[in-house]
């Protein structure tokens, strides 16, 4: 809840946040927050359907966006402070640049649909060739807000067309054009969405926030304060952010936490089953739930319609007729009559095709897509098969001009693999006959495929589990 110091729209406000405590935000940021487009984020859950497994996981994109905005400003101020402390004046950070990064942090998730990443999965199902991504959608929504912003306040804080373009590029994590004034300021694109190493304040906030709401406690706690304080800008490498080499293990811990969160929460087996049922319901109701006259599958290409969508669509599906397939699926979710996972395995082989595996099983058994499906979930440290820590530029304490990107002096005990896939066989039809048939078929597929999956040795073998009672 925000405490206002004044009714004037040109005043800062303080937000009381459970993660970062008191957050003071710039007047321009407040003007963005107080729009319909931004307020919509209050009705979009940060963790999608995790709340159906973890009851406390009800935080929203609104909370997270304010947290990322806060950390964006803090990191910019710390980088500026470290420049001053080092007596290096080759790079200067302006107040306008700070504000641009903070706005990007605030607006980076504006483009999420109902239940966050669940909507992206829905789009992949209904428009397989579509390149829809929430980041691009966030830029569209931000531009819509920008057009509505008071010209006087934009002028007062020197926010013109060039700054608008810069904010959009910061949201996307890379410059779309050459900015002559920013050629030595790569750090601007490494704070909100770092495409080079994956180290950004977006992760720092959601690690802390999701851990809090998932009630995982100390098991996955991460301390970002040390990283804030040791971050510095290196003028010799285009102005990118470098970190102390002593923090290398802290970064491994950070990426390990990401892996843990994906395994235990974001891609939890039951969470993914409920998400799959909800997507099936959306597809079944595509022509029956309209937003500004558009079908659900058309909303992503129509901003007015898209702005009408949020998590309330779950209850909208419950208002359909009793016999409607979508309502029946939502009723099943509510009464815990879920699809059943009848087999799973883990492999280091990635980019597997669920459709190919389904086709092989259908050929052997005659099962249809209405009866079962295969879900392939990929897990990594954020950079695919690559060691993400090797992408982070480091500096040594007594020689800040010595870039040691691949410095191996900290430890030799680091992970040997950084990605894996988990394959699930899930039954939509939960009759005993279908479950037994699907379970046997998946077991046969596993036994035929385990050699090329790299599971032919005893230490790698993961036998199909009996998971019918999920």
312-353 pLDDT, tens digit each: 999 999 999 999 999 999 999 999 999 999 999 888 888 889
User: What's the pLDDT at 351?
Assistant: 83
pLDDT band with cut points at 50, 70 and 90 for residue 184: confident
Q: What is the mean pLDDT of the chain?
A: 89
User: Is the distance from CB of 217 to CB of 54 less than 8 angstroms?
Assistant: no
pLDDT at 7 (0 to 100)? 40
* pLDDT for 218 beyond 90: no
Of 99-108, 196-205, 219-228, 374-383, least confident by mean pLDDT is 219-228
Task: Kindly indicate the confidence band of residue 454, based on its pLDDT and cuts at 50, 70 and 90.
Answer: confident
Phi, psi of 173 (to 5 degrees): 85, 10
* pLDDT greater than 70 at residue 244: yes
pLDDT, residue 363, reads 80
Give residue-wise pLDDT tens across range 48-85. Answer: 999 999 999 999 999 999 999 999 999 999 999 988 66
Which residues are annotated as catalytic?
134
User: Among the listed ranges 32-41, 58-67, 332-341, 359-368, which one has the minimum average pLDDT value?
Assistant: 359-368
Mean pLDDT to the nearest integer, 439-457: 80
- pLDDT attached to residue 144: 98
Residue 45 to residue 206: CA distance in whole angstroms = 12
For residue 413, pLDDT beyond 70: no
> Coil, strand, or helix at residue 60?
strand
Quickly state the pLDDT bin for 400 (edges 50, 70, 90). low
**Interatomic CA distance for residues 343 and 203, integer angstroms:** 32
| Digit-coded pLDDT (tens) for 250-270 | 999 999 999 999 999 999 999
When mean pLDDT is compared over 295-304, 399-408, 460-469, the highest value belongs to: 295-304
Percent of the chain scoring above 90 in pLDDT: 70
Is residue 404 scored above 60 in pLDDT?
Answer: no
| Res 237: pLDDT | 86
Local structure of 240: helix, strand or coil: strand
Distances (CA, A) of 320 to 20, 176, 182, 287, 326: 41, 45, 53, 12, 8
Question: Tokens 């409607």 — which residue?
Answer: 324
Determine what percent of the chain falls in helix, strand and coil, rounding each to the nearest 5: 50, 15, 35
> How confident is the model at residue 461, as a pLDDT?
33
Q: Say whether pLDDT at 396 is over 80.
A: yes
pTM, rounded to two decimals? 0.91
pLDDT score recorded for residue 315 = 96
Q: What is the pLDDT of residue 89?
A: 66
Taken in order of first residue, the domains within the chain and their CATH numbers are: 13-267 (1.10.3210.10), 272-338 (no CATH), 339-381+418-469 (3.30.70.2760)
- Rounded CA-CA distance 48/136 in Å is 20
Tokens read off for 426: 């899930």
Q: Is 195 a residue whose pLDDT tops 90?
A: yes
Residue 111 has pLDDT above 60, yes or no: yes
Comparison of pLDDT for 384 and 26, the residue scoring more: 26
Residues 6+ apart with CB under 8 A from 467: 269, 340, 341, 342, 343, 344
Q: Report strand pairing: 419-427 vs 340-347.
A: antiparallel
Give the model's pLDDT for residue 452. Answer: 79
DSSP state of 456: -
């Amino acid at each position: 809840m925000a405490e206002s110091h004044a009714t004037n729209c040109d005043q800062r406000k303080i937000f009381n946040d459970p993660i970062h405590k008191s957050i003071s935000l710039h007047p321009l940021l407040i003007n963005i927050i107080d729009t319909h487009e931004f307020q919509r984020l209050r009705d979009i859950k940060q963790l999608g359907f995790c709340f159906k497994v973890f009851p406390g996981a009800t935080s929203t994109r609104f909370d997270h966006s304010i947290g990322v905005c806060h950390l964006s400003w803090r990191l910019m101020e710390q980088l500026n402070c470290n420049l001053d402390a080092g007596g290096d004046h080759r790079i200067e950070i302006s107040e306008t640049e700070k504000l641009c990064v903070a706005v990007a942090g605030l607006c980076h998730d504006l483009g999420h649909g109902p239940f966050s990443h669940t909507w992206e999965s829905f789009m992949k199902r209904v428009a397989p060739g579509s390149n829809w991504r929430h980041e691009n959608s966030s830029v569209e929504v931000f531009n819509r807000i920008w057009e509505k912003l008071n010209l006087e306040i934009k002028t007062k804080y020197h926010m013109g067309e060039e700054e608008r373009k810069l904010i959009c590029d910061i949201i996307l994590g890379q410059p779309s054009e050459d900015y002559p004034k920013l050629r030595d300021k790569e750090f601007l694109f490494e704070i909100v969405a770092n495409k080079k190493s994956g180290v950004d304040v977006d992760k720092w906030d959601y690690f802390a926030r999701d851990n809090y709401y998932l009630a995982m406690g100390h098991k996955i706690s991460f301390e970002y304060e040390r990283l804030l304080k040791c971050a510095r800008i290196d003028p010799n490498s285009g102005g990118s952010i470098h970190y102390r080499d002593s923090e290398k293990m802290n970064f491994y811990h950070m990426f390990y936490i990401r892996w843990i969160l994906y395994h235990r929460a974001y891609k939890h087996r039951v969470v993914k089953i409920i998400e799959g049922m909800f997507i099936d319901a959306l597809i079944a109701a595509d022509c029956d739930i309209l937003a500004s006259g558009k079908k659900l599958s058309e909303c992503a290409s129509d901003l007015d319609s898209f702005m009408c969508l949020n998590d309330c669509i779950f209850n909208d599906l419950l208002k359909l007729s009793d016999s409607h397939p979508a309502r029946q699926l939502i009723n099943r979710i509510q009464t815990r009559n879920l699809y059943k996972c009848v087999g799973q395995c883990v492999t280091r082989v990635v980019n597997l095709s669920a459709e190919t595996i389904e086709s092989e099983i259908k050929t052997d058994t005659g099962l249809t897509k209405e009866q079962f499906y295969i879900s392939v979930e990929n897990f990594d440290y954020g950079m695919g098969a690559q060691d993400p820590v090797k992408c982070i530029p480091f500096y040594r304490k007594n020689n800040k001009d010595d870039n040691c990107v691949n410095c191996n002096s900290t430890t030799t005990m680091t992970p040997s693999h950084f990605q894996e896939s988990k394959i699930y066989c899930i039954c939509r039809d939960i009759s005993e006959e279908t479950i037994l048939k699907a379970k046997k078929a998946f077991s046969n597929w596993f036994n035929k495929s385990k050699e090329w999956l790299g599971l032919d040795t005893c230490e790698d073998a993961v036998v199909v589990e009996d998971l019918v009672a999920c």
